[in-house]
Amino acid sequence: MRLATEHIRVLRQRTRVVLDAVSCQLRSGTLTGIVGPNGAGKSTLLQALAGLLPVADGRVVLDGTPIAAIDRLNLARAIAYLPQERRVHWPLPVRDIVALGRLPHRWTPAGESLADLTAIDAALATMDLVGLADRPADQLSGGELGRALIGRALAQKAPIILADEPAAGLDPAHALDLFGVLRRLASDGHTIAVALHDLSMAARFCHEVVVLGAGRVAAAGPASQVLTRAHLEPVFGVQFVMGRIEGLPVVLPTATRP
Amino acid sequence: MTGVPTRSVPRSGARLALEPGLAVAVVGLAVLSMLTGPAGFGIPPAAAGLILVEIRLPRTLLALLIGAALGASGAALQGYLRNPLAEPGVIGISGGAGLGAVLAIHTGAASAFALALPLGGLLGAFAATTLVLLLAGSGGRSLTLVLAGVALGSVSTALISAVLSLSHNPFAAVEMVFWLLGSLADRSLTHVWLSAPFLLAGMALLLRLGAALDALTLGEEAAENLGVDLARVRRDLVAGAALAVGAATAVAGTIGFVGLVVPHILRPLVGHAPGRLVRASLLGGAVLVLAADIALRLMTPAGELRLGVLTALMGTPLFIWLVVRTRRDMAP
């Protein structure tokens, strides 16, 4: 599925412009990274793409249909959104957290269907949570909780996944696994976008990259063409060293620019 | 990654047995409530029939319905606000109902015709609900709702005190205080017919919120992404709680602590899921109020102690126990 913003303008507190004239597109089979400094509008862009924010100008389009015209349940089945906020308000066991992802598929009081059970078990296995399934949320580490919440988004079985810093707090092994999973989902035909700060990870795993600076698109396109010093340094205000180590791309910030 | 579809977590037996167990307790206590009272066996059958239908049946039905309404409202509010300390008072509804009833006594309407008191309570509850919703605004966020509710609750309390202190008739003042303390004594079947439609409609609205409350466990953004209409959930929650708590307060006065304590006790037993907790607390609230009302009749057959006083007296030690348990759980 194709999800795109067309010249959107998003305001917060009624007057503060957070996104201005932002056009970007997410395509099926593609893992898109959204990068930019703090406050550049990465989270806002993901929320707008997920249909969670009113757009002051322009529109968000899902396969040719304006997202505002799609009812909530169909939208929930099409787009799984993982907020940056990692909070579970009641100490639910991990399995029950993951099972919440099935809600858009069973808003009737019926119990879990075979499809629900399959999706939940698959999400638990993918996020390496099988051993933690019975552990209550308040006894999880930050990274484990993060994995459980990603598991929820996977169990939603939506063709589009939007994740706001999904790798934050994950150890290197689980972070690599996560991007491997996202990349595999993309090659299965999913449409995936992640906001992230680790530019080396973006260079290694993302097919496409959108660079946001101060609420506008500074650059967008294939990762190898966008993640260059010319594009990144003015936006981040940092000098970068770029290269490859043992064949893997590395984007290393070295010094803040004077 | 589609393996054999088995449940990775077996649902524990205790969780499955909880609701049937509570339902059995409700039925058992209701029967016991019909059998409890100062009139013993050996009175003429006609008189016995009259006592059962005119005195004990309304009392039993009201204890059951009001307990269920308070328990379910407390659980739904705690789930929606994601705060274990929420109770029907925080959104200002019981305060409004109390004010309406006190005004009915003060103006003399209550002595003119008996149903003016519960009708005044219902009116007060609806006025308070309307004001809270207007004040809280149209967005779906929960914080404004609490702020508006607390503000309105404080105003109601202040106005109740004002009416009490302005009351020239000491008998009316005593009646107001006693009514505010909460009781199920001397209620008739008319009170049941008057309040039951509101109580049942309110509970039906609250029970329908189960899945949305579960989704809100992940926060408002994630819940919205799971298909929850936040504005509608808030409207249904406030309407449901207003119908249930407003009608309960209107016929029985303030019966405190039920909406706070029952969800607290049952929460771990339902695996902390806020949706399941509404159902369980509905049954649990009925159990608690039925039991308290039976205990009251056994302890003071002449009816000196008020039900609201007893639920508060029973609730406080339970609450202290919860504090101790939480402290132990939070110990490093």
Q: Is A76 on the interface with B (CB under 8 A)?
A: yes
- Rounded to a whole number of angstroms, the distance from the CA of A36 to the nearest CA of chain B is 22
Cross-chain Cβ contact A89/B218 below 8 Å: yes
* Chain A hits for B217, Cβ within 8 Å: 88-90, 92, 97, 100
Q: What is the mean pLDDT of chain B?
A: 85
Of all residues in chain A, the one with the smallest CA distance to B269 is A92
pLDDT given at position B330:
67
Vertex A53, ends A51 and A54: CA angle to 5°? Answer: 105
From A21-25, A124-128, A177-181, B33-37, the region with the lowest mean pLDDT = B33-37
Structure-token pair, residue A164? 């706001």
Counting other chains too, the contacts that A197-202 makes at CB distance below 8 Å and 24 or more residues apart are: A197/A35, A197/A165, A197/A168, A198/A167, A199/A35, A199/A227, A199/A232, A199/A240, A199/A251, A199/A253, A200/A248, A200/A249, A200/A250, A200/A251, A200/A252, A201/A167, A201/A175, A202/A33, A202/A35, A202/A227, A202/A251
Cross-chain Cβ contact B274/A90 below 8 Å: yes
The amino acid sitting at A67 is I
pLDDT tens per residue across span B226-239: 999 988 898 899 88
pLDDT band, residue B332 (cuts 50/70/90): low
Q: Is B222 on the interface with A (CB under 8 A)?
A: yes
pLDDT given at position B287:
95
pLDDT tens per residue across span B104-153: 888 888 778 878 888 888 899 889 888 888 888 766 577 788 888 888 98
Q: Is a pLDDT exceeding 80 seen at residue A108?
A: no
| % of chain B beyond a pLDDT of 90 | 35
CA atoms within 13 A on the CB side of A33: 25
* Chain B hits for A90, Cβ within 8 Å: 82, 217, 267, 272-274
Q: How would you write chain B as a 3-class SS string? A: CCCCCCCCCCCCHHHHHHHHHHHHHHHHHHHHHHHCCCCCCCCCHHHHHHHHHHHHHHHHHHHHHHHHHHHHHHHHHHHHHCCCCCCHHHHCHHHHHHHHHHHHHHCCHHHHCCCHHHHHHHHHHHHHHHHHHHHHCCCCCHHHHHHHHHHHHHHHHHHHHHHHHHCCCHHHHHHHHHHHHCCCCCCCHHHHHHHHHHHHHHHHHHHCCHHHHHHHCCCHHHHHHCCCCHHHHHHHHHHHHHHHHHHHHHHHCCCCCHHHHHHHHHHHHHCCCHHHHHHHHHHHHHHHHHHHHHHHHHHCCCCCCCHHHHHHHHHHHHHHHHHHHHHHHHCC
Contact by Cβ (8 Å): B164, B176: yes
* Chain B hits for A130, Cβ within 8 Å: 8
The 10 Å Cβ neighbour count of residue B176 is 24
Vertex B290, ends B16 and B316: CA angle to 5°? Answer: 90
Q: Is a pLDDT exceeding 90 seen at residue B254?
A: no
* Chain B hits for A185, Cβ within 8 Å: none
pLDDT band, residue B47 (cuts 50/70/90): confident
pLDDT band, residue B278 (cuts 50/70/90): very high
Q: Is a pLDDT exceeding 60 seen at residue B2?
A: no
From A185-199, A214-228, B56-70, B298-312, the region with the lowest mean pLDDT = B298-312
- Rounded to a whole number of angstroms, the distance from the CA of A130 to the nearest CA of chain B is 8
Mean pLDDT of A191-197: 95
User: How far apart are the two ends of chain A, measured CA to CA in Å?
Assistant: 44
Distance CA B153, CA B14 (A): 38
Mean pLDDT of B71-85: 91
Please list the residues that pair with A14 across neighbouring strands.
none
pLDDT given at position B12:
59
Residues 6+ apart with CB under 8 A from A182: A31, A161, A163, A166, A192, A194, A205
pLDDT given at position A42:
94
Run of H or E including A156: none
pLDDT tens per residue across span A72-96: 999 999 999 999 988 899 999 999 9
Distance CA B126, CA B93 (A): 8
Q: Which of A14, A71, A89 to mutate to test the interface with B (most CBs of B within 10 A)?
A: A89
Q: Dihedral sign, CA of B300, B306, B307, B313?
A: negative
* Chain B hits for A80, Cβ within 8 Å: 225
pLDDT given at position B93:
86
Q: Is a pLDDT exceeding 90 seen at residue A3?
A: yes
Q: Point out the residue among A47, A73, A92 whose CB comes nearest to the CB of B272.
A: A92
Q: Which residue has the higher pLDDT, B132 or B23?
A: B23
Q: Is a pLDDT exceeding 80 seen at residue B5?
A: no
Q: Point out the residue among B9, B211, B274 whose CB comes nearest to the CB of A134.
A: B9
From A23-27, B40-44, B319-323, the region with the lowest mean pLDDT = B40-44
- The complex's ipTM? 0.90
Nearest C-alpha neighbor of B91 from the set B276, B218, B237: B237
pLDDT given at position B10:
39
Distance CA A120, CA A129 (A): 11
Distance CA A203, CA B132 (A): 52
pLDDT tens per residue across span B154-208: 999 999 999 988 888 888 888 888 888 888 888 888 889 989 999 999 999 999 9
Give contacts of B 99-158 with A, CB under 8 A.
Answer: none
Mean pLDDT of A208-219: 93
Residues 6+ apart with CB under 8 A from A251: A199, A200, A202, A203, A227, A232, A240, A241, A242
pLDDT band, residue B3 (cuts 50/70/90): very low
SS3 A91: coil
Mean pLDDT of A152-169: 92
Distance CA A227, CA A244 (A): 13
| % of chain A beyond a pLDDT of 90 | 75
* Chain B hits for A125, Cβ within 8 Å: 1, 3
pLDDT band, residue A46 (cuts 50/70/90): very high
Distance CA A185, CA A195 (A): 17
pLDDT band, residue A258 (cuts 50/70/90): low
Q: Is A139 on the interface with B (CB under 8 A)?
A: no
Q: Point out the residue among B221, B227, B271 whose CB comes nearest to the CB of A93.
A: B271
